[in-house]
Each structure stands twice: as structure tokens, then as C-alpha cells.
Amino acid sequence: MQDIESRLQGSFARQGLMTTMGATLRLVGPGLVEILVTPSPAISQQHGFVHGGAVSALADSAAGYAALSLVPAGRGVLTTEFKINFLAPAIGDRLVARARVVKGGQTLTLAQAEVFAVNGTQERLVALMTATMMSVEDRDGITD
């Protein structure tokens, strides 16, 4: 698990967008990842909520790293598609995206991510994503 965690953290640190958003990643278990972010005007939409694109970025990264945690080292994953439903405005002290692998495969991995708005001890589901990740090797130098 520690090898996997450091591999994921190394890759995550190279995701410029996650750095820009101030997001942090936590490997919860094999195929299970959490990403946290604190809402700020820098990632808002016009009504002051976190932008749906930012919510999607969190969920997509979480789903991708959940998939990557199950893929042999040296291979990378790319998102081929995702679908996201928005259920409530993304406002709160924190947003947390929780992803899990639904089904891994040789080529394709299906993952789901839920994004919650956290206020004090309360959590509210704000978005639900289903994503397909493709495992790639030696393509355009893509690893991890």
C-alpha cells in the first residue's frame, strides 16, 4: 500500500490543476481514493458555488487514482469518458470526492465517484460521477 500511495502522490503532485485548486489526495485502500478541497472564489461559478467543472475535476481525479491504484506500476490511466449528475449546490467548508473502482479490467476500468459538501459534521451529496478509465503503456510516455 505504501508503494502505491507514494506512486499516486507523486503523480498527483504533477497534476497542475489539483495544485491550482489546492486539492489533497488520500489513498483509502486498494481502488479507494479521496480528494479534498476547500471552496474559494478561485474555483467558483457565477453564483458563488464551486464550479461544476471544478467538482468534475475532483471527481475525475479521484476516479482516475482509484483506477491507477489497481494498475501495475509503469502503466498509466487516461479518462475516456465520464458522466456526472449535479444534485445540490457545491458549497461548504470542504468538498470531498470519494471514488471506488466498480470493475477493473485489462484495458478498461469503471469507477464511480461521489462528491460531498462537508459543513461541520454534516455531509451532503452534491454530485455523482461514473467514469471509464483506459490503461495505457508506452504511449506518449504515459506512466502513472
Stretch that binds a second copy, among 12-20, 25-33, 115-123 (CB under 8 A): 12-20
Contact set for a second copy, span 22-81 (CB under 8 A): 40-47, 51-54, 56-58, 60-61, 76, 78-81
Residue 57 sits at the vertex; the CA angle it makes with 55 and 62, to the nearest 5 degrees, is 100
Report the residue from 2, 3, 72, 103 that binds a second copy according to the rule CB under 8 A. Answer: 103
Query: Does position 2 bind a second copy by CB under 8 A?
Result: no
Say which residues have a Cβ less than 8 Å from residue 133's Cβ, sequence separation at least 6. Answer: 63, 64, 67, 68, 77, 78, 79, 80, 108, 109, 110, 111
Query: Does position 17 bind a second copy by CB under 8 A?
Result: yes
State in angstroms the smallest separation of the CB of 107 from a second copy. Answer: 7
Query: Does position 144 bind a second copy by CB under 8 A?
Result: yes
Q: Which is nearer to a second copy, 73 or 87 (CB)?
A: 87
Binding residues for a second copy (CB under 8 A): 11-12, 14-20, 40-47, 51-54, 56-58, 60-61, 76, 78-87, 89, 102-103, 107-108, 110, 112, 125, 128, 130, 132, 134, 140-142, 144
